[in-house]
Structure 1
Amino acid sequence: MSHQSKLRITSRYSLSKRDRRELAEKALSELGESYKEAIEKCNLVEVAKIREGDIEAVYFLDGVPAMLEHKVHGLLPALYYIYKAGVSPKLPSVYVDTGAVSRILNGADVMAPGIRKIEGEFSTGGKVVVKELEKGRPIAIGVALVESKNIPQMMKGKAITNVHYLGDEYWTLSI
């Protein structure tokens, strides 16, 4: 079984010092201090431009996919980097029950009834880390469709759009 990515990468190149500084500042404001420090410490920062979909680019730190650039929502953390580098984005989290995990890992959006716990606050359009309740491991990165304060009262419906999940085409860029 091949883990070949289906993404159409149009170009991949190293960032200049200036572009690297700009990315570090953007990462600081959107993902937190740990991402800024990672960019400043690594030897090589590359960007791969992507042709289709909502993700426009993937940023690699020393060859490891670390961040995704979304057309609307800006920088998103790459799950592989969270696991490989042990870096945690400064983003709110939702914890989902075991029954929701397999669906999310197949690309399904996060349904409100599957959310068991919320850490932090987010508004509609906010970036959210989706974690499994049992072990607290990140399994997806999403964008909120509703405010965090409204989720506990929701008996049905989608709460978070699944943008990136373990095993997807962005994850396989690291294999």
Structure 2
Amino acid sequence: MPLVVPGVTIDNMGGDKTQEWMNKLAGKLLCDGPSTETTFCKTDLPQTTRVIEPGMMVTRDFNPDRLNVHVGKDGIVSHPPPTSLHGSPKQKLKSSIQRSIRNSILSTYPLITPHIDEVLPKKSSLELVKLPDRVSLYVIDGHPIVYQQDNNGVLLPHLKLVHRFPQCFPTIRIDRGAIRFVLSGATLMAPGLTSPGGRLPIPVPNEGVDEDGHWSRELEKGEPVVVMAEGKEEAAAVGVLVMGTKDIKEKGKGPVMEEAHYLGDGLWRLSVE
């Protein structure tokens, strides 16, 4: 559920092809040298590619075969000019639905139990905002709380809720080198977690986070997780694991999280007041 498509727009190609180029380029430095894990050679781009730099004037003519790649001042593929995410008007939910969501939050994230009345004040009403791609965002008193894709999807915490209660959610930590990729919407890969700057769970009896940032139990494929970043205090992303943490340790490669809500994306910028 990429709520903002980073740096790459292709007019006539399907979503799968767009996603393919996004994964290749997001967060990488365009250069004249060979392509590596952190760079992408300009000569490997399609012939019809247009590289758009900050402040650059571009024509609005339609070219169905053109690949537009937006880069920052440092030459790294970045977000295109911000696009707004628009949701439906807020809808008040029935009491039974509010209770169901409350119970789901408590069962999925038990460490938030001591704070649940602060998260969901009893005198306030939970409201629904419908977003593109069948995403439902639940808000209360103008604060985004959780969201889910499809009605039967797992409830994921909005990053603004995570920043308020950072110790209440399962976490993994990426190294410094992976930060720009995650914040560009690229697929999170295992090496960003298994390097010295990364952190994966170390099972201990009491659930929570230790002083070194290790979560206390192994996380399974399909579980929600918060992505912390080396050297940063606040979480960078939230998503669902496509590989369990035990497998990440054993294999050391492959995708870990393919779609995420991350700092600066459309969901982060959406105003729900």
Q: TM-score range by the shorter chain?
A: 0.7 to 0.9
Greater Rg over alpha carbons, structure: 2
RMSD: 2.4
> Which residue of structure 1 aligns with residue 72 of structure 2?
none
Residue 151 of structure 1 deviates from its aligned partner by 1.1
- Tell me if the contact between 1:94 and 1:131 (Cα under 8 Å) persists in the aligned partners: yes
Give the aligned residue type for 2:135: E
From 159, 183, 195, the counterpart of 1:79: 159
> Which residue of structure 2 aligns with residue 48 of structure 1?
129
Higher strand share: 1
> Which residue of structure 2 aligns with residue 110 of structure 1?
188
In structure 2, the CA distance between the partners of 1:70 and 1:36, relative to structure 1 (3 Å rule), is farther
Please list the CA deviations of residues 118-141 of structure 1 after superposition, one character each: whole Å capped at 9, or x if unmatched.
Answer: 123211111111000223421001
Give the aligned residue type for 1:117: R
Instruction: Give the structure-1-normalised TM-score.
Output: 0.83
Instruction: Give the structure-2-normalised TM-score.
Output: 0.56
1:165 to 2:262 alignment: yes
Residue 92 of structure 1 deviates from its aligned partner by 2.1
Distance in 2 separating the partners of 1:20 and 1:160: 29
Give secondary structure in 2 for the equivalent of 1:95: strand
Give secondary structure in 1 for the equivalent of 2:264: coil
Residue 156 of structure 1 deviates from its aligned partner by 2.6
Distance in 2 separating the partners of 1:3 and 1:62: 26
| Structure 1 runs not aligned, ≥5 long | none
| Structure 2 runs not aligned, ≥5 long | 1-80, 201-214
In structure 2, the CA distance between the partners of 1:62 and 1:137, relative to structure 1 (3 Å rule), is same
- Tell me if the contact between 2:85 and 2:267 (Cα under 8 Å) persists in the aligned partners: no
Give the aligned residue type for 1:169: G
Distance in 2 separating the partners of 1:34 and 1:67: 17
More divergent stretch after superposition (63-72 vs 109-118): 63-72
> Which residue of structure 2 aligns with residue 29 of structure 1?
107
Give secondary structure in 2 for the equivalent of 1:138: coil
> Which residue of structure 2 aligns with residue 124 of structure 1?
221
1:5 to 2:84 alignment: yes
Distance in 1 separating the partners of 2:88 and 2:227: 30
Identical counterparts, % of pairs: 28
Distance in 2 separating the partners of 1:14 and 1:4: 27
> Which residue of structure 2 aligns with residue 149 of structure 1?
246
From 34, 51, 66, the counterpart of 2:145: 66
Give the aligned residue type for 2:140: L
* Paired residues, number: 169
Residue 40 of structure 1 deviates from its aligned partner by 3.6
- Tell me if the contact between 1:96 and 1:132 (Cα under 8 Å) persists in the aligned partners: yes
In structure 2, the CA distance between the partners of 1:89 and 1:142, relative to structure 1 (3 Å rule), is farther
In structure 2, the CA distance between the partners of 1:142 and 1:42, relative to structure 1 (3 Å rule), is farther
Give the aligned residue type for 2:85: K
Give secondary structure in 2 for the equivalent of 1:171: helix
In structure 2, the CA distance between the partners of 1:164 and 1:56, relative to structure 1 (3 Å rule), is same
Distance in 1 separating the partners of 2:264 and 2:234: 14
